[in-house]
Structure 1
Amino acid sequence: MEAGAKKVIISAPAKEVDFTVVQGVNSKDLKKDHNIISNGSCTTNCLAPVAMVLENTFGIEYGYMTTIHSYTGDQKLLDTLHKDLRRARASGDAMIPTSTGAAKAMSLVLPSLKGKLDGTAIRVPTPNVSLIDLTFVPNKEVSSESINDAMIKAAKGPLKGILATNSAPLVSKDFNHNPHSSIFDLTQTQVIKGKFSRVLSWYDNEWGFSNRMCDTAIQIAGLI
Structure 2
Amino acid sequence: MTVNDDSFTNWKIREEIAESMIPLIGKLHRERDVTVLLHSRSLVNKSVVSLLKTHRFARQIAGAELSVTETMPFLEALTTLDLGPSQIDLGMLATTYKADDRGLSVAEFTAEAVAGATGANKIERREPRDVVLYGFGRIGRLVARLLIEKAGSGNGLRLRAIVVRGGGAQDIVKRASLLRRDSIHGQFQGTITVDEDSSTIVANGNAIKVIYADDPSHVDYTEYGIRDAILIDNTGKWRDREGLSKHLRPGIEKVVLTAPGKGDVPNIVHGVNHDTIKPDEQILSCASCTTNAIVPPLKAMDDEYGVLRGHVETVHSFTNDQNLLDNYHKSERRGRSAPLNMVITETGAASAVAKALPDLKAKISGSSIRVPVPDVSIAILNLQLARETTREEVHDYLREVSLTSPLKRQIDFITAPDAVSSDFIGSRHASIVDAGALKVDGDNAILYLWYDNEFGYSCQVVRVVQHVSGVEYPTFPATAV
Q: TM-score range by the shorter chain?
A: over 0.9
Partners of 1:154 and 1:50 lie apart in 2 by 9
Partners of 1:201 and 1:178 lie apart in 2 by 12
Which segments of structure 1 move beyond 3 Å, counting only runs of 4 or more?
none
Deviates more, 1:155-164 or 1:177-186: 155-164
Partners of 1:31 and 1:148 lie apart in 2 by 36
Q: For residue 179 of structure 1, what is the aligned residue in structure 2?
A: 428
Provide Cα deviations, 1:55-110, integer angstroms capped at 9, x if missing partner. Answer: 00000110100000000011110111112120110000110010001011111111
- Does residue 165 in structure 1 map to residue 383 in structure 2? no
Q: For residue 292 of structure 2, what is the aligned residue in structure 1?
A: 45
1:17–1:36: 8 Å Cα contact kept in structure 2?
Answer: no
Change (3 A) 1:180 1:59: same
- Does residue 122 in structure 1 map to residue 369 in structure 2? yes
Provide Cα deviations, 1:119-173, integer angstroms capped at 9, x if missing partner. Answer: 0010000000001001111000011112122211211121122111000020000
**CA shift for structure 1 position 34:** 1.5
Change (3 A) 1:196 1:115: closer
Q: For residue 452 of structure 2, what is the aligned residue in structure 1?
A: 204
Query: In structure 1, the residue corresponding to 2:461 is in which secondary structure?
Result: helix
Q: For residue 152 of structure 1, what is the aligned residue in structure 2?
A: 399
- Does residue 94 in structure 1 map to residue 341 in structure 2? yes
**CA shift for structure 1 position 19:** 1.6
**CA shift for structure 1 position 17:** 4.2
Change (3 A) 1:215 1:2: closer
Counterpart selection for 2:275 from 12, 28, 43 = 28
1:53–1:150: 8 Å Cα contact kept in structure 2?
Answer: no
Provide Cα deviations, 1:202-222, integer angstroms capped at 9, x if missing partner. Answer: 000000001111111111111
2:414–2:433: 8 Å Cα contact kept in structure 1?
Answer: yes
Change (3 A) 1:115 1:58: closer
RMSD over aligned Cα, in angstroms?
1.3
1:104–1:115: 8 Å Cα contact kept in structure 2?
Answer: no
Query: In structure 2, the residue corresponding to 1:210 is in which secondary structure?
Result: helix
Q: For residue 141 of structure 1, what is the aligned residue in structure 2?
A: 388
Partners of 2:255 and 2:415 lie apart in 1 by 38
2:317–2:372: 8 Å Cα contact kept in structure 1?
Answer: yes
**CA shift for structure 1 position 16:** 2.9
**CA shift for structure 1 position 27:** 1.2
- Does residue 83 in structure 1 map to residue 330 in structure 2? yes
Partners of 1:114 and 1:123 lie apart in 2 by 29
1:181–1:209: 8 Å Cα contact kept in structure 2?
Answer: yes
Q: For residue 110 of structure 1, what is the aligned residue in structure 2?
A: 357
1:189–1:198: 8 Å Cα contact kept in structure 2?
Answer: yes
Query: What letter is aligned with 1:204?
Result: D
Query: What letter is aligned with 2:430?
Result: S
Partners of 1:82 and 1:58 lie apart in 2 by 43
Deviates more, 1:58-67 or 1:144-153: 144-153
Point out where structure 1 has 5 or more consecutive residues left out of the alignment.
none
Q: For residue 249 of structure 2, what is the aligned residue in structure 1?
A: 3
Give the structure-2-normalised TM-score: 0.45
Counterpart selection for 1:219 from 467, 470, 474 = 467
2:269–2:287: 8 Å Cα contact kept in structure 1?
Answer: yes
**CA shift for structure 1 position 113:** 2.6
Of structures 1 and 2, the one scoring higher in RCO (CA 8 A, sep 6+) is 1
2:376–2:421: 8 Å Cα contact kept in structure 1?
Answer: yes
Partners of 1:3 and 1:111 lie apart in 2 by 32
Q: For residue 57 of structure 1, what is the aligned residue in structure 2?
A: 304
1:182–1:203: 8 Å Cα contact kept in structure 2?
Answer: yes
Identity of aligned residues (%): 37
Give the structure-1-normalised TM-score: 0.95
Query: What letter is aligned with 1:216?
Result: V
1:130–1:205: 8 Å Cα contact kept in structure 2?
Answer: yes
Q: How many residues align?
A: 222
* Structure with the largest fraction of helix: 2
